[in-house]
């Protein structure tokens, strides 16, 4: 499902949060040192960049979240993105630069759709806790990265 199609299914307030969260995620991801931090958490520790950014957004806007629902949503909807990413990485050397950039654009659309699913699950779940607590739990063994991410969010999202 395309991000725009998915957004049409969301209630207006959730749709607004999804758009704001996507813009927030882009700003934070581009902040100095954040991309390698998030990719290391993903590649070395199996954490989701999208879930981390959704939790960070929820913390920034002060919304309670359901991390259990977020993790379940990631299991349900994250596999398509993971398969696509693996395919893209596997054929990088065989494609022209233009074709590879096309795959990157498709991957970005999948990430945006996944983020919409995650945000919906996080904000509408039944077992909500403060986003700060959920973010700390998700990154529990990575406290240094947690502080780096929070600082980047505070500095870039204004």
pTM (whole model) above 0.95: no
Count Cα neighbours of 54 within 13 Å in the Cβ-side half-sphere.
31
Tens digits of per-residue pLDDT, 30-78?
A: 999 899 989 988 888 888 999 999 999 999 999 999 999 999 999 999 9
Q: In which element (H, E) is residue 12 found?
A: helix 12-30
Q: What is the percent of the chain with per-residue pLDDT over 90, rounded to a whole number?
A: 55
């Amino acid at each position: 499902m395309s991000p725009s199609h998915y957004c049409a299914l969301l209630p207006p307030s959730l749709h607004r949060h999804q758009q704001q969260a996507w813009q927030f995620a882009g700003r934070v991801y581009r902040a100095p040192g954040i991309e390698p931090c998030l990719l290391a958490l993903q590649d070395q520790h199996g954490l989701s960049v999208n879930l981390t950014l959704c939790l960070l957004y929820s913390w920034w806007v002060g919304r309670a979240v359901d991390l259990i629902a977020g993790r379940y949503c990631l299991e349900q909807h994250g596999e398509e993105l993971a398969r696509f990413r693996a395919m893209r990485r596997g054929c990088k050397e065989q494609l022209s630069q233009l074709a590879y950039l096309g795959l990157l654009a498709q991957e970005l659309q999948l990430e945006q759709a996944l983020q919409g699913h995650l945000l919906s699950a996080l904000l509408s779940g039944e077992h909500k806790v403060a986003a700060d607590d959920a973010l700390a739990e998700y990154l529990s063994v990575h406290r240094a990265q947690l502080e780096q991410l929070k600082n980047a969010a505070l500095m870039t999202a204004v």
